[in-house]
Amino acid sequence: MPHSEQPDEDCGRDGGSVPEPPRSRAGISPKDPDPPERIESWDPVDDQMESAVRRQVQWNWHGRPSWGRKAVAVFPLVAVVLAVGLIVHTTVEAQGAIDQVQSVLGTGGATLLLSAPPQSSNGSSAGTGQTSDYRDVTFSQPSGTNQPIQGSTSLAVPPYVGWEANGSAGADNAFAVVNGGLLHVGVRRPTPDYRGWFLTTTGATPDTCAFQFSAASPPPVTVSTAGAVGELVMAVQTSNTVATGDINYVVVAENVYPGGQRSLVAGYSLGHLSHASEHILKRAPWAPGPLQVAIETNGENSLGVWVNGALFFSATDLHMGIVPPLEPYLEVQARQTAYTVSFSGYSSVCQSNIVVSNLPNGTVATLGQQSIAAQNGSAVFPGGMASPPVTGVLTLTVPGTTHPIRFDPHTYWPGDRLSFAPGT
């Protein structure tokens, strides 16, 4: 491989039919029983394997497991018709985009207007089909009670109607609530096997975009049970699952164990229905702290993962088979412990630089550590699609004014396009 990190191991979910070898690391006793089934995206205990193991992955939709999706496994010829109906239903349910901050207020009555990103090149391939639904999400609006979506076991997260909640933990033992500028996702009560709760988008994003996730530091596991584990998952899956039955996805996960041990894992799943396997590409010990993850992938051979602005894994010779356009999803899983992780933001980043336009000649824009003189009416803050967002105060020093214009604190993601509107 041209990249420096060699794959640590190939590993899949525990479908219940293939026994695990004895576990002797991370305080897990070889006598501990295996969980009865594995029906979520990633088995953190796989990260503790002494040798490479490939096992079957039990089929599980990371999205809406409605009657239309379940029918794919039994009636593949009917699946296309059902998928069309599901898309129409999803479009009706997700009429509005995710509630985003459309403007940023400044002193003197000035505002910054955030322009909507362009329509996705693939059109309405799934749900609303616009990247605007999944850009610059900072969970600034508190959500109400999760509402069931008609004809499905999924739950909508109001007012973030572009996302749906679901998972093996069930709505009575899991939650996804937006409060205090954070999306709190968790499992309320311990379960003997792995249970989780995830949010996935109702629309898709082109593979030419990057997927950026931000989360608070996953909390410690406070129980002393040897087999307990909490897990944060940030992932990207194929959006054509409903039509093909493929459950291929890229995953970045932080696993937290009793005693304070943590690991960060990057990998992917490759396969169809119950015959898929997960592959660990890189695993590393990790320390507590906030996570900012960027994933760039074409779904086939190329994958780049950045964590907190540093390259964590890169490869161009993979065989993932993840057909674009793609859907991001956020997930929390736990075994033998209650567990909650708080996400602070998400953005589908489809351009690199942050641009502030409609500026008078001679204006100097300052954001973070960068000061940029406007040229041709625009200040361009350079960056890449995998660059972390910048949260702070943007100031504009406009010629002929006494004081710089200061805008309210805001999170600026790569690719943002803003237009300056002076006060009256």
Predicted confidence (pLDDT) at residue 366 exceeds the cutoff of 50: yes
Q: Where are the alpha helices (DSSP H) in 212-288?
A: 241-244
Predicted confidence (pLDDT) at residue 229 exceeds the cutoff of 80: yes
CA atoms of 218 and 291, how far apart (whole Å): 9
Residue positions counted in the chain: 424
Task: Tell which wins on pLDDT, 51 or 41.
Answer: 41
| Backbone angle region of 133, left / alpha / beta, with phi > 0 → left and psi within -120 to 50 → alpha | alpha
Rg of the chain's alpha carbons, rounded to an integer? 22
- Domain assignment present for residue 2? The answer is no
Predicted confidence (pLDDT) at residue 60 exceeds the cutoff of 80: no
Q: Would you give the DSSP letter of residue 342?
A: E
pLDDT at 139: 87
- Domain assignment present for residue 337? The answer is yes
Amino acid at 65: P
What percentage of residues in the chain have a pLDDT greater than 70? 71
Span 227-253, mean pLDDT?
Answer: 89
Q: Residue 27 — very low, low, confident or very high, per pLDDT cuts 50/70/90?
A: very low
Contact 197, 187 (CB under 8 A): yes
Predicted confidence (pLDDT) at residue 39 exceeds the cutoff of 70: no
pLDDT at 133: 58
CA atoms of 266 and 10, how far apart (whole Å): 11
Span 346-368, mean pLDDT?
Answer: 94
Burial class of 322 by CB neighbour count within 10 A (0 to 12, 13 to 18, 19+): buried
Helix (H) or strand (E) holding 299: none
Predicted confidence (pLDDT) at residue 162 exceeds the cutoff of 90: no
Q: Domain residues for 261?
A: 9-99+130-349
CA atoms of 199 and 84, how far apart (whole Å): 22
Burial class of 397 by CB neighbour count within 10 A (0 to 12, 13 to 18, 19+): middle
pLDDT at 116: 55
Counted domains in the chain: 1
Predicted confidence (pLDDT) at residue 118 exceeds the cutoff of 60: no
Task: Tell which wins on pLDDT, 52 or 280.
Answer: 280
Which of 76-90, 232-246, 307-321 bottoms out in mean pLDDT, i.e. has the lowest? 76-90
Q: Residue 179 — very low, low, confident or very high, per pLDDT cuts 50/70/90?
A: very high
pLDDT at 392: 94
Task: Tell which wins on pLDDT, 172 or 122.
Answer: 172
Predicted confidence (pLDDT) at residue 224 exceeds the cutoff of 80: yes
pLDDT at 45: 44
Amino acid at 380: V
- Here the CATH number for the domain that contains residue 146 is 2.60.120.200
Q: Residue 423 — very low, low, confident or very high, per pLDDT cuts 50/70/90?
A: confident
pLDDT at 185: 97
Span 57-76, mean pLDDT?
Answer: 39
- Domain assignment present for residue 412? The answer is no
CB neighbour burial string for 123-141, b if at least 16 within 10 angstroms, e if fewer: ebbbbbbbbbbbbbbbbeb
Instruction: Indicate the average pLDDT of the chain.
Output: 77
pLDDT at 166: 92
Q: Residue 146 — very low, low, confident or very high, per pLDDT cuts 50/70/90?
A: confident
pLDDT at 70: 39
User: In terms of DSSP bridges, do strands 354-357 and 417-421 run parallel, antiparallel, or are they unpaired?
Assistant: parallel
Predicted confidence (pLDDT) at residue 363 exceeds the cutoff of 90: yes
pLDDT at 424: 61
Contact 367, 382 (CB under 8 A): no
Predicted confidence (pLDDT) at residue 158 exceeds the cutoff of 80: yes
Report the predicted TM-score, pTM, of the whole model to 2 decimal places: 0.76
387-397 per-position pLDDT tens digit: 999 999 999 99
Span 86-111, mean pLDDT?
Answer: 57
